[in-house]
Amino acid sequence: MGIIFALIIFEVIIIIHELGHFIAAKSCGVKVNEFAIGMGPAIIKKKKGDTLYALRLFPIGGYCAMEGEDSDSEDERAFGSKSLPRRILIVCAGVIMNFILGIIILAVNICRSDAIVTTKIASFEEGALSHETGLEVDDEIIRINGMRIFTSMDISYQFQNDEDGKFDMVVLRKGEKKELKDVSFAVDDKTMHIDFLVYPGKLTVGSVLAETFKNAATDGRLIYISLFDMIRGKYSLKDLSGPVGIVDSIDQVIENETDEKTGKIDWQSLLDTMLSLSAFITINIGIFNLLPLPALDGGRLIFLIIEGIRGKPVPAEKEGMVHLIGMAALLVLMVVITVSDIIRLF
């Protein structure tokens, strides 16, 4: 079941991404040679106009192949023949669609909930250490250890990645910002105990929209935090997860939502988690694609920016070679991550 969920999530995200490139290319007058769902041999294919539409055997991706995308072409509808702003739009369109999909999923998931989980403290447990060390009822947490807090997930992230149970916080108290040093929580066997509850927020059009974009910011920021943590040496390649790791995580989610006695799955709760995971993945795939690396949309965008600065494009063959090398490097990285996932499982 984990594999099925993972395939559905990734395939929908990839189709939406490539559909963004497709729509933008068609709108800008670029010839699209093929729009494919899946990889490998074609199961169904149909040519309409200049474009071959194909459903391929393996549901592990898809692509939008444009004329003159990685090579020179004399066709007046080739990608390279279009103006720089149009090509930038086409390159960025897939990422834009990822963000739109993520925002829609987040909004749907928030609307399905009973209330919004705020960052404003409602009450403390008796003898709460965090209360004794500075926090008060009605404090709205806006920073923890320097990180801006958008959602309750940001609070959870900071708490889960702490070692000593002490935090520097900035809270909004009676309309004024107040800095708190060494707000503490009890730690038992390396597990920190959260000793306060937050207020539920009402579901209105305004609150849903605000919470949707806050959650998108939370999800998107995590990829940069993770990259910086890797550069600083906090994480290594073995800590990364690929498709195999994600399948395992989904399996664990399904197991948690399954009643041990009856074997019945809590489908409502599982759907909530799957929607949250899908939004997180599509937003982060969008942001990852913007990284200035060969073979990614961000890498292509860098070449377009260079063209704008120097006044002429980099030869298509040279750019294509850079992207080919980049793709090979990404595939090697994916193999390393997959092997690491399998070793971790067994």
Catalytic residue list: 18
Strands 196-201 and 116-124: antiparallel
In 3D space, the residue among 283, 260, 229 whose CA is nearest the CA of residue 95 turns out to be 283
22: exposed, middle or buried (C-beta count within 10 Å: 0-12, 13-18, 19+)? buried
**CB distance 121 to 149 below 8 Å:** no
Cα distances from 276 to residues 108, 203, 271, 300, in angstroms, run 10, 18, 8, 30
Tokens coding 318? 């040279």
**What span, in angstroms and rounded, lies between the C-alpha atoms of 335 and 346?**
17
Run of H or E residues at 87:
helix 84-112
| Tokens 């305004």 belong to residue | 206
DSSP state of 193: P
Cα distances from 128 to residues 125, 158, 346, in angstroms, run 5, 19, 41
**What span, in angstroms and rounded, lies between the C-alpha atoms of 55 and 47?**
12
221-247 residues labelled b (16+ CB within 10 A) or e (exposed): bbbeeeeeeeeeeeeeeeebbbbbbbb
**What span, in angstroms and rounded, lies between the C-alpha atoms of 292 and 99?**
18
**How far does Cα 8 stand from its chain's mean position?**
16
39-65 residues labelled b (16+ CB within 10 A) or e (exposed): eeeeeeeeeeeebbbbebeebebbbbb
**What span, in angstroms and rounded, lies between the C-alpha atoms of 219 and 150?**
10
